[in-house]
Amino acid sequence: MTCQEISLDHATGCRLRSSAVPKKNQYKSADELLRKQGPLDRTVLHRLAEDAEFDQIPPEILTPELLTHADPEGLTPLHSAAAHGSLWQLKRFLTGELLVWSKGRSAKCLTPIQIAAKEEHLDQIPPDLLTPELMMSSSQVEPRTVAEILVEQHLQHLRKVLPAFKPAVRAIFAAVLTD
């Protein structure tokens, strides 16, 4: 079964096969999207963000205000989209202000841009939004800037791959030194 053949029934939280996949634009009002469900009191909108299913929401009711609606932990659908790699579906809403938004900056609440950086989803943010100010933003929870998070990730990656190149580098230095 492929990923396209599975979807989530947001009323019950159960996975569905393709024959039962909800239709595009099935939600008709903001109230439906803000209905809480499940043991964590997550809204339908949070679940749609996690599953990259924003196409089930008519464009006229999906607003920046809905994207910043916080759950009890202070996380918004924008945070969920950043964590689960579905920011690409929200490009028309993304602004520098929304990417650093964090209601109350609760103990568990990084900014959406920090989450996207940590989860390696910055490629989903339009390049014109990745300004120096945004890259240097931080939060009370995570004092490292977005740029520092990225540098640390790249250094960790280099530490993993450099040992494989060690013999080749030694051979190059040996060849240079013998000439």
7-18 residue pLDDT tens: 444 444 443 433
CA quadruple 94, 96, 97, 99: dihedral positive or negative?
positive
User: pLDDT tens across 90-125, in order?
Assistant: 877 787 777 776 554 444 578 888 888 888 888 888
Mean pLDDT, rounded, of the chain = 76
Please name which of 56, 82, 55, 57 lies closest in space to residue 68, comparing C-alpha atoms.
Answer: 82
**For range 65-84, the mean pLDDT:** 83
CATH class of the 3-178 domain in this structure:
mainly alpha
Residue found under tokens 């909800």:
22
Structure-block tokens of residue 13: 């939280």
pTM over 0.95: no
User: Rounded to whole angstroms, how far apart are CA atoms 179 and 162?
Assistant: 25
3-state SS class at 103: helix
Structure-block tokens of residue 132: 């120096």
